[in-house]
Amino acid sequence: MGYLGYRKADQVLISSLRRLEYRGYDSWGIATAGSDGIGVYKQVGSISEVEAFDLGDSSLGIGHTRWATHGAPSEINAHPHLDCNRQWAVVHNGIIENFLSLREQLRDEGHRFVSETDTEVIAHLMEKNGGDLEDALAASLKELKGSYAIVVMGAGERKLVGARYKSPLILGVGDGEYFLASDATAILEYTNRAVYLEDGDFVVVTDEGYRIKNQGRNVEREVELIPWDPADAEKEGYDHFMLKEIHETPRVIEDTLLGHISETVDLDLSLAVGTSEIVFLACGTSFHAALLGRYIIEEVADLPVRVECASEFNYRKSPLNRTLVIAITQSGETADTLQALRKAKSFGARALAITNVLGSSVTRLADEVIYTRAGPEIGVAATKTFTAQLIVIYLIAAKLSRFSRTEMERFLLELRLIPEKIQRVLDNADKIQAISKILAGYENMMYIGRKIGYPTALEGALKMKEISYIHAEGYPAGELKHGPFALLGERTPVVASVVRDETYDIMLNNIKEVRARGSPVIAIADEGDEEVEKYVDFVIKTPEVESIFTPLTHTVALQLLAYYTAKERGCEIDRPKNLAKSVTVE
């Protein structure tokens, strides 16, 4: 964050950093520049635990909330970092890959380093290069390798300078005030007007305005309206953002459908013309959406689909000519997904992105973008954005299908009915919470499913492990007997996503096998399924939908199951340990 305007900068920075905390939260710090030089305050832990402090009346400052990559979370390692003479202060996201050699060189020249971070080299490089703030940073950037969003200020100049390369940075434009921030939620309280900076952009902000350069040339960038309401970034009475966001799912589905369907699907998929296959690239929860996309598109559109884990795609050799690549990333900033997309494009693939964030990096890389309209997601666990991604995938599948008019109408009608059915899952939260109270006492769990029940199981397990810290594994039900059976027993409950399609009978057999090995079984199944309850310990019933849509209803039930289990265990639900919302490093 950076602020230059008329308000008390320390207060603006604290308030904005609170909203950015979901991106990193092991330590934080702010610095302001006034007539008596640069004042700094740093603290380990969460900003909500801020102690009273006052950095004076300055209306110019920078701040940062950290997710440690180089050096443990500590006050010394927290940003901002300063040079030896406290002339420059720097905050930085990303990684300076050549920082070790730079640090050695700077040390030899007499610079004293206090932290273990890569960021500190930027302050010392600026000190070495000298000149005014702009010149010092511009010269230093030439020596950096890696990725960065940097904001700097100096002791004697009323100016902020920012630079972006492979790490997001936006400029908020208010009335007589400016903000530099790594995402829009940080500035929404003050302005909804923003410039989404591009790679290579170098922005200089003063009281008179701002100017942007790229590769030494002045460039014009459009000021865009952030399409989010400040209230979207508040808990609005819920105990946690995660719960609020799960409850927003029905509205998010309606919003995502809006504008994309009429009597048919209104999506421009000209990129798909002539494609021989679809390749999905994604990480984490988005990867699970992609795995579901494989079953959905193959079934509905009869087109071969490959799913590649983005962080592994760099090591793949397979050519992708004439292929449509679809990158799924809610944040639009996941470094692995961006890198995989760059590689796919270098193979000649056409690129479509599904993202939730306007102006995010993926929107610049892709040839076309389809937005999920989920609003900001603050909880680290992806919930409503996952459901919204699935909705877009159903629409893509329908668009690519050879549906007759009646089949299309039926498919779209089912989709339109989903929000109301998910609302009924949410209304059943008490029952799910009661089961969670029991699950909270276990340390290991298994999630199983077949066909579309399988990625649903993976996502259920991911939600459980990331917020409750229970070790939870997702498996195709058929794989259990190839090894994981050895882990079953009365201390390992198994959650089964039971779908009434061709997998139904064999799933019931798998459940019986699991039960025979002593594991308690919790099934997620259709309301109309009266058979399954004979073989399991608990059933969470979800409204009936056509089998292909069950991932939507089942996942919301699994999200609630994870949420209430984590709550019962007293976990930090919105900010699980060691995780950050946007993973902007590879």
Instruction: With H, G, I as helix, E, B as strand and everything else as coil, classify residue 520.
Output: coil
Comparison of 65 and 547: residue with beta carbon closer to ligand M6R = 65
Task: Tell whether residue 583 is a contact of ligand M6R (CB under 6 A).
Answer: yes
Q: Is 115 in the site for ligand M6R (CB under 6 A)?
A: no
Catalytic position from the list 42, 399, 541, 581: 581
Q: Which is nearer to ligand M6R, 125 or 283 (CB)?
A: 283
Residues 461-480 that bind ligand M6R (CB under 6 A): 462, 466
Decide if 190 contacts 172 (C-beta within 8 A).
yes
Whether the Cβ atoms of residue 368 and residue 268 lie closer than 8 Å to each other: yes
Of 434, 467, 394, 78, the residue nearest 246 (C-alpha): 467
Compute the least distance from the CB of residue 106 to ligand M6R, in Å.
34
Is the Cβ–Cβ distance between 60 and 106 less than 8 Å? no
State which amino acid sits at residue 84.
Answer: C
Among 4, 20, 197, 382, binds ligand M6R (CB under 6 A): 382
510 binds ligand M6R (CB under 6 A): no
DSSP string over 453-496: HHHHHHHHHHHHHHHH--EEEEEEGGGGGGTGGGG-BTTB-EEE
- Provide, rounded to whole angstroms, the least separation between the CB of residue 243 and ligand M6R: 14
Q: Which one of residues 144, 380, 508, 562 is an interface residue with ligand M6R (CB under 6 A)?
A: 380
Shortest Cβ distance from residue 343 to ligand M6R (Å)? 16
- Nearer Cβ to ligand M6R, position 173 or 186? 186
Rounded Cα distance, 207 and 414, in Å: 54
Q: Is 245 in the site for ligand M6R (CB under 6 A)?
A: no
Tell me the closest approach of the beta carbon of residue 435 to ligand M6R, in angstroms. 21
DSSP 108-120: HTTPPP-SS-STH
Q: Decide whether 32 or 385 has the Cβ nearer to ligand M6R.
A: 385
Segment 167 to 206, residues that bind ligand M6R, using CB under 6 A: none
Print the binding letters for residues 543-562 with ligand M6R: x by CB under 6 A, - otherwise: --------------------
Residue from 284, 359, 375, 551 binding ligand M6R (CB under 6 A): 284
Residue 539 tokens, joined? 């059933």
**151 vs 92: CA distance, rounded Å:** 7
DSSP letters of 229-292? Answer: -GGGGS-TT-S-HHHHHHHTHHHHHHHHHTTTBSSSB----GGGTT-S-EEEEE-HHHHHHHHH
Q: Give min distance, CB of 290 to ligand M6R, in A.
A: 10
Active-site residue flag, 128? no
Omega before 304 within 30 of 0, i.e. cis: no
Please report how close the Cβ of residue 75 comes to ligand M6R at its closest, in angstroms. Answer: 27
Instruction: Pick one of 4, 184, 257, 283: the residue that binds ligand M6R (CB under 6 A).
Output: 283
- Least distance in angstroms from the C-beta of 291 to ligand M6R: 13
Q: Is 360 in the site for ligand M6R (CB under 6 A)?
A: no
User: Whole-angstrom Cα distance, residue 282 to residue 313?
Assistant: 10
Say whether residue 151 binds ligand M6R (CB under 6 A): no
State the helix-helix crossing angle for 249-257 and 405-427, rounded to 10 degrees.
Answer: 160
Q: Which of 93, 35, 84 is nearest to 62 (CA)?
A: 93
β 81-82/88-96 pair status: antiparallel
Residue 565 interacting with ligand M6R (CB under 6 A): no
- Nearest residue to ligand M6R, by Cβ distance, number only: 284
**C-beta of 240 vs 500, nearer to ligand M6R:** 240
Residue 163 carries which side chain, given as an amino acid letter? Answer: A
Residues in Cβ contact with 304 at an 8 Å cutoff, skipping those fewer than 6 apart: 276, 277, 278, 298
327-356: contacts with ligand M6R (CB under 6 A): 329-331, 334, 337
Nearer to ligand M6R, 203 or 391 (CB): 391
Q: Which of residues 389 and 428 has its CB atom nearest to ligand M6R in the complex?
A: 389
Taking CB under 6 A as the binding criterion, the range among 20-28, 380-388, 395-403, 477-485 that sits at the site for ligand M6R is 380-388
- 10 or 26: CB nearest ligand M6R: 26
Which residue do the tokens 């276990």 mark?
A: 442
* The token pair that represents 88 in the structure block: 């420059």
Asked if 396 and 376 touch (Cβ cutoff 8 Å), the reply is no
Q: Is the dihedral of CA 180, 117, 334, 286 positive or negative?
A: negative
Please check whether residue 557 is in contact with residue 540, taking contact to mean a CB–CB distance below 8 angstroms: yes
In the complex, least distance from residue 34 CB atom to ligand M6R, rounded to whole angstroms: 38
Query: Considering the rule CB under 6 A, would residue 286 count as an interface residue with ligand M6R?
Result: yes
Stretch that binds ligand M6R, among 228-236, 239-247, 282-290, 396-404 (CB under 6 A): 282-290
How big is the site for ligand M6R, counted in residues (CB under 6 A)? 15
By beta-carbon proximity to ligand M6R, the closer residue of 177 and 248 is 248
CB 185 within 8 A of CB 233: yes
Residue 529 beta carbon to ligand M6R: minimum distance, rounded to whole angstroms: 28
Distance of closest approach, residue 545 Cβ to ligand M6R, in angstroms: 23
Sheet containing strand 350-355, edge to edge, reads: 305-309, 278-282, 324-329, 350-355, 368-371
Q: Which of 285, 372, 387, 428 binds ligand M6R (CB under 6 A)?
A: 285
Give me the active site residues, please: 581
Residues binding ligand M6R (CB under 6 A): 283-286, 329-331, 334, 337, 380-382, 462, 466, 583
